[in-house]
Structure 1
């Protein structure tokens, strides 16, 4: 790519831009995530077939629109989310987004690392003493693809995404036959309960952090149209399929764990292959995102070193019990991550009129208190809201930022008039 190691601290230049297929394939590999199927399984246990489809459609449509909105800004500016954060949060204040996004992706990395180790021990009948060594092995192994960079992610996605798609379809067909066809699925009565808003929040939360950080790749898009199209297709179809597949199978087998479902279907070997290949596919982009946030946090160009350090921290979290924290983690992400995107969108379109200056040409304040206050308001209301938390967070943070900019502009105008 570049001697600057994929431009972690600057705009992506035009010569590094790519077309629809490379961007879409990397994003597809990003959204084809086993963890999303676990979350979908929770929907299948709590809602009937029709309601589950509606929730999946609404949640993933909102997620795709959010990802596309940030992708358009990324393509126009050549910046990823943590670099955009400099404009709306300030040079030092942007470390808030570095920390939040790095924390979110590191949590996912730890969960994925723990999951593959725990499930392999279970499926292969290994002694429990193998769990921690496997976490260390996979935690380091997963990081290798990210160290290679975009080319490594693109190559792996072209193999894993088609295989994952075929396996999902086969599993859903077997589940449908087991249920007695579509009529059998429609007759399934849910055994657990969940509110509509919590369900949509969970669907959005499965990839709230991913949608916010997908700008690491959409900024490499050749045009805004490519960025938007790749984001909508990959998040709506990719993430949507994972949610629906997980829920679909959970309704039949009353089991939210998709790996356990495949074992019940006689697909034990396929389950092992799917888990390893799928998690390897997603863990690469995940730790890549952590490294990008870390580079910006430390103002360092050493992405490969940051990747290895982040992987080590992820292994520690995996050993510490991240596997058990998936659903609370998703709900938290659905509340605290989307307000970051809300402030960025308001800053780009309202304050900068759709055109950032280059980072090298502008001197930014250390802290943009208006952006930080707007984020805090959005995150707080999202956490407290009984409605769909991600939407509340995005709308509140964007609206608060615009109002604060207006009030600040009026105050400056009055001060100027008084001075005259």
Structure 2
């Protein structure tokens, strides 16, 4: 929603809808592709990384995904504290203690595990949806209807490519690590449908709602908008529920990546340590770095998925061998090189960075795999390559 607010300040109504539609469609397709592989293999992203990056090389994906989720955790922790101080009229000295309180509180949900996250989502998501609909109805009324919305002139600028990258970046890491749950799906079809609904409709609604509200009041912060609408209590409820729903899975993903990187089973300890680091980052000013952070994530995370997809379909022909029965190299330089190329090209590209990253990393991996296969075939035939 906060990222959507930035869109609302930079695009007119129709263009904003196009940006949200394109960005969230790409995000949903990316998440669905990884979800299908996870459901079919029973593995999450960090375990898939062992096949395409190597036993030790897979720590690269662990670090990237952990870093991304930890940054989100720090931003969410800072946001809830800063906004609550503003909403409740508290003294500025309460900000840091609230960051510590919420940073630890969010982690409790993740420590409880999947059942705790599921219970929280069942309560918070419908309520949050209702609050957003109410806010959007009031926005439309205050704007003078859809004609008024269409007449709003944006006061900031942003390129289409940067905007789509930002939208993709809102859940690039979450889409990559959603395999922690989609691997448990009853079938690949269920995993794909769930991913599309969650990332296209769910995330899409959040982005559009934030942009919708920002356009009318020229205020990118949806909580500030709800205060202007006289919905201060609802704003407090929505802020807490929205961030708590997100923060629980976020710190869970951090702990999953950390445990795999360290080859440890101490998930609860990893969760608490990660939460502590997130609190430090929150206190250090993560709140002000949202947009650069989203653009970075939209560039460096998708190439991980690109390499995984290419490795699963082109190298393993749609079926991983059992991890316990296969001898994997410490480093798969083919996968690491493909990732590096994809990430660099995505970050430097003036086009839609996630597409560039996924396409470049996957294509590089496939070409390198084909060249290696030909060289091996020539060697077996006794022909000098």
TM-score when normalising by structure 1: 0.90
Cα distance in 1 for residues equivalent to 2:244 and 2:342: 34
- Hey, what does 1:138 align to over in structure 2? 102
1:71 CA drift (Å): 0.1
1:66 corresponds to: 30
- Tell me the alpha carbon deviations over residues 98-122 of structure 1, each in whole angstroms, 9 at most, x when there is no partner: 0000000000000000000111111
Q: After the TM superposition, list the runs of 4 or more consecutive aligned residues in structure 1 that deviate by more than 3 angstroms.
A: none
- Which residue number corresponds to residue 303 of structure 1? 267
Look up the SS of the partner of 1:234 in the other structure. Answer: helix
Q: Which residue of 2 aligns with 1:17?
A: none
What is the CA–CA distance in structure 2 between the aligned matches of 1:301 and 1:78, rounded to whole Å? 18
Alignment correspondent of 1:42: 6
How many angstroms does 1:416 deviate by? 2.5
1:241 equivalent to 2:205? Answer yes
After superposition, residues 132-171 of structure 1 pair within 5 angstroms as 132-171=96-135
Equivalent residues in 2 for 1:240-389 (5 A)? 240-389=204-353
Distance 2:322 2:92 in 1: 53
2:16 alignment counterpart? 52
- State the superposition RMSD in angstroms: 0.9
Q: Distance in 1 between matches of 2:375 and 2:311?
A: 19
Shift in Å, 1:419? 8.1
2:186 maps to 1:222: yes
Superimposed CA distance per residue, residues 300-346 of structure 1 (whole angstroms, 9 cap, x where no aligned partner):
11111111111011001001100000000000000000000000000
Please give the alpha-carbon distance, in whole angstroms, between the structure 2 residues aligned to 1:400 and 1:419.
Answer: 25
Give how far 1:418 is off.
3.0
Corresponding residue for residue 23 of structure 1: none
Distance 1:61 1:397 in 2: 20
SS in 1 for 2:382: helix
Task: For residue 410 of structure 1, report the CA deviation from its aligned partner.
Answer: 1.7
Q: 2:363 aligns with which of 385, 393, 399?
A: 399
Higher mean alpha-carbon deviation, 409-418 vs 146-155, is at 409-418
One of 158, 176, 179 as aligned partner of 1:212: 176
1:126 aligned counterpart, secondary structure = coil
- The answer for the alignment partner of 2:354 in structure 1 is 390
Q: Residues of 1 paired with 2:89 and 2:76: CA distance? A: 20
Corresponding residue for residue 115 of structure 1: 79
2:169 is equivalent to residue 201 of structure 1: no
| 1:416 and 2:380 matched | yes
1:30 match: none
Rounded Cα–Cα distance in structure 2 between residues aligned with 1:236 and 1:242: 10
Write the distance in 2 (CA, Å) between the matches of 1:278 and 1:340.
27
Compared with structure 1, are the counterparts of its residues 419 and 198 closer, same or farther at alpha carbon in structure 2 (3 Å cutoff)?
closer
Task: Give runs of aligned pairs for residues 73-112 of structure 1, distance below 5 A.
Answer: 73-112=37-76
In structure 2, distance between residues paired with 1:120 and 1:189? 30
Q: Give a deviation string over 1:256-306, Cα, whole Å, max 9, x none.
A: 011110111111111111111111111000000000000100001111111
- 2:149 corresponds in structure 1 to 185
Unaligned runs of 5+ in 1: 1-36
Matched position secondary structure for 1:366:
coil
State which drifts further: 403-412 or 129-138: 403-412
**For residues 156 and 215 of structure 1, what CA distance do their matches in structure 2 show?**
19
- Cα distance in 1 for partners of 2:20, 2:81 equals 29
TM-score by length of 2: 0.99
Task: Find the residue that maps to 2:350 and give its secondary structure.
Answer: coil
